[in-house]
Amino acid sequence: MSIDVIIPTVGRASLATLRERLSGFPGRVIVIEDMEQRGPARARNNGWRRSDAEWVAFLDDDVLPGPGWVDALALDLDLAGPRTAGSQGRIRVPLPRHRPPTDWERCVAGLEGARWATADMAYRRTALAEVGGFDERFPRAFREDADLALRLLDAGWELHRGSRETLHPPGPAPFLKSVRLQAGNADDALMSALHGRGWPERAGAPRGRRPLHLATTAALAVALATRSRLGWGAWAALTAEFALRRIFPGPRTPGEVSRVGVTSMLIPPAATWYFVRGGLRARRLVRPAAVLLDRDGTLVHDVPYNAEPHRVAAVPDARAALQRLRAAGVVTAVVSNQSGIGRGLLTEEQVEAVNRRVEELLGPLGPWFVCPHTPAAGCACRKPAPGLVLRAAEALGIEPQRCVLIGDIGADVQAARAAGAQSILVPNARTRPEEIAAAPLVAPSLSAAVDLVLAEAG
């Protein structure tokens, strides 16, 4: 088993100490400088794509691997099963013993419970390649790792916590650092666009105070616009509650009280601003340029293992919906599981004949991508794996993030998520209630799904 270590860096002095700790590492230690600060996602992609090792272990440049880390990493990866994509190290944040921790120190200590944080995270390189690595639309830390983890889980991989331990010292905290960190709210908006509003629960991320920040900002806006005592009173009450919640667990020194008091006034409007701006950016980044369509149950009525073209019947609104996509210049392709081939119930020629009949009824649909494998084959193309989606996006010359997959079951939604694409579920009689509940977008018909696509594309 071969392992490389990838360290993205922005030039922190702590990098030298980290490299000393890794002086006896048997694999390569690849340091990726990000002096232009184009983001950790890009730096990490540059790192793992330079590696030819079976596993790549990502470390931040401000962490310190604990004693025996190298041996513990090797043991964690030796215990990994064939479908284990990643192993997370155990982060420990050393806090002062002689006083209560500051607000900043408590914030950093939250990393101890963070799920899939790339401060110490090892990934199987083939798994990274399967889902395309980190999404570089995330320009900051903290969400690019959650996005990658969710896409890997949707692709059928497993993620586990290992036994190795890594120290993450809190580091210095400039006066307004907590305010600048609110820029991460923009990435939360992108996560919602890509993974649906339930992504924090799936990623184990805390919901935070966004509703209260929105309320505080609204009260401030009302107070400034109307000069009303009620508006000022509401703003003052919400701000005071926020400040006291941050002050009381800490050391309560004059400097800490001053810092928390000032930032408690600035954080709510900053968080709101970044979230709203991030939502507008997310709409632009995920604006669809192509629609990928499931065949059975979406374009035509599902006839299990159909080998007879004369049994093909289009869903009632399919032809009109597809004509609207063509008129709007939205390209299409079809992605379809056809396990009947692998089961010996169909031939490829019979599937192609049925596909030709579908196009006779509905018009040209663009390239077809068919998975012939059975579920037991463990292939990378059968939905919910992302293979068909990635192949279709590559053939169309469009990034997967700008593709929308319209399908009728949860496997379609999961395949889109795993590839970084969007999805719209159009339920029918075979769609399970839990699949509907988990889908980020649900439309009652194919025509309604196209309405959503064209509204976003416009």
Give all strands (DSSP E) within 329-389, no chain letters: 331-337, 368-371
Cβ–Cβ < 8 Å for 363, 326: yes
- Residue 67's H or E segment, with its range, is none
Q: 86 in helix, strand or coil? A: strand
Active-site residue (options: 294, 302, 317, 412): 294
In angstroms, the CA 78 to CA 70 distance is 12
Cβ neighbour number for residue 171 with a 10 Å cutoff: 12
Cβ neighbour number for residue 241 with a 10 Å cutoff: 13
Cβ neighbour number for residue 33 with a 10 Å cutoff: 14
Is-catalytic flag, 296? yes
Cβ–Cβ < 8 Å for 293, 421: no
Integer angstrom CA distances of residue 179 from 176, 271, 451? 5, 8, 39
188-197 burial code (b ≥16 CB/10 A, e <16): bbbbbbbbbe
Q: Amino acid identity of 360?
A: E
Backbone angles phi, psi at 235, to 5 degrees: -65, -45
In angstroms, the CA 296 to CA 334 distance is 10
Q: 334 in helix, strand or coil? A: strand
Residue-wise DSSP of 374-422: -GGG--SSSTTSSHHHHHHHHHHT--GGGEEEEESSHHHHHHHHHHT-E
Active-site residue (options: 62, 147, 296, 408): 296
Task: Take residue 453 and report the two structure tokens written for it.
Answer: 């696509």
139-156 burial code (b ≥16 CB/10 A, e <16): bebbbbbbbbbbbbbbbb
Is-catalytic flag, 294? yes
- Residue 293's H or E segment, with its range, is strand 290-293
Task: Take residue 230 and report the two structure tokens written for it.
Answer: 């009620």
In angstroms, the CA 69 to CA 61 distance is 16
- What DSSP designation does 8 have? E
In angstroms, the CA 418 to CA 388 distance is 11
Cβ–Cβ < 8 Å for 154, 198: no
Catalytic residues: 294, 296
